[in-house]
Amino acid sequence: MQNVPPAASVRIDPGAAAASLSSSTGAPLASGAAFAVYRLGRSSFHAAVVRRIESSFVVVAERTEPIGGAEFDGLILAYLSGRHPDAGVRLWSRIADPAEPADRQLRALLLEKITQAREQLSKQDFTVITLPAADIKMPLTREEFESRVEELVGTTADVMEETLAEAGVHPAELAGLLMAGGAARTPLAAVTLRRRLGLEPVLAAPNAKVLAAEAAPVATRELPFVDEQEPPKRRRGQGRAVVVAAALLVVVGAGAAFGSQLGDGDTAEDDVAADESDAAATTSESSTTASPEASETPSAEASPSPSESPTPGGAVQDPQSQGAEEDPTEESQPTTERAPTGSVPDVMGLSTAEAAQAVEEAGFAGVAQSGEERGVFDWSHEDCEIIGQSPEPGTTQALSEQVAVTFSYSGEASECDV
């Protein structure tokens, strides 16, 4: 089995994806053209839109979901247990809840057989799953298989459409649709994409690499975060980060440098928007520093005395008020020391090991984990998958505190310890 890094630590490699598309179609990608990537692997699904900008390839939008061939196999296992009860309640209970090493070996063997059957059904309409250790044979048709995974495949198509919408690219504008990953060879996936997007998908070579470790930076069109307290963008439904007004000048500098790198022509518009925001911020600051005494003066006393001078806006301020404005001592007091804080990362859907790593990288003291056991044939979550966390993602708390997480398991909870 190919070793693939966890979904949380990898992302689409735009250059490798472009090379794979060109190799499959026999035509290079024109400058300015965009294409979509649909990668369905064993444990994760990646959707991305890549655009060529001059000689570089840039990820315009990208999303990831914990859907893959392993989840397909789990659904088929549950289906077979109900489809072939004649194999014996004892056998299925051993496979569903393996307590002994021999039971775990039997379950792993059956899942391996199901994976092989799934791959065979991508080329033929019928196969037989044999389990010599239990002396059983279970026929499986492509129609039966596709009826079990249809909902999950539909979800991946939804994510692909959402990624295109996020990138602002209509399917008709795409120069190609690249499908990669072992589970992407399921015929239903291509049929669904063809119906939804009106495009003919192109299958990457079986050994084509379109993923890269996140440690190797991949260019995107998003501005870098400036406010370190902002939670990182991760999964579906989360919007772009909004930079606070105090960091506007930094964003303009970062945006200019970033736009230059990508060949983006929006730098001038960004500068104009920043200038308008600066003017608004200056006006707001002036209004907040105005003395409250002037606003509380009765209308009968509105006429300035010889010792008073009107402000440019026509409001009258007394010398005491002006003195208070000119003395910045109160406003320039240094902030009091406080315990270092950080933004709680979003670890929902990650494994316990991945969650512990994310929390540690965010600077917190670690995770306090507890398990929630699933039913025998409940395939809604994977073993050791995080299904709850406290505090909520994006919450600011002291770095000395731990992040509490709840994980799902069906065997031994101790297997998820980190």
What pLDDT, in 10s, does the model give residues 368-402? 999 888 765 666 778 888 999 999 898 998 888 99
Q: Strand runs (DSSP E) across 204-248, as ranges?
A: 211-213
Give me the helix-helix angle, 89-96 and 101-120, nearest 10°.
90
User: How much of the chain exceeds pLDDT 90, in percent?
Assistant: 38
Model confidence pLDDT, tens digit, residues 236-294: 333 333 333 333 443 334 444 444 443 343 433 444 344 444 444 444 444 444 444 43
Nearest to 12 by CA among 293, 210, 159: 210
Model confidence pLDDT, tens digit, residues 155-214: 999 999 999 999 999 999 999 999 999 999 999 999 999 999 999 999 998 888 898 875
Provide the pLDDT for residue 319.
42
Model confidence pLDDT, tens digit, residues 99-134: 889 889 989 999 999 999 999 999 999 999 988 777
Residue with tokens 């090379």: 19
Peptide bond into 391 cis (omega under 30): yes
Provide the pLDDT for residue 127.
95
Assign 3-class secondary structure to 118-178.
Answer: HHHCCCCCEEEEEECCCCEEEEEEHHHHHHHHHHHHHHHHHHHHHHHHHHCCCHHHCCCEE
Nearest to 108 by CA among 141, 131, 137: 131
Provide the pLDDT for residue 90.
73
pTM: 0.52
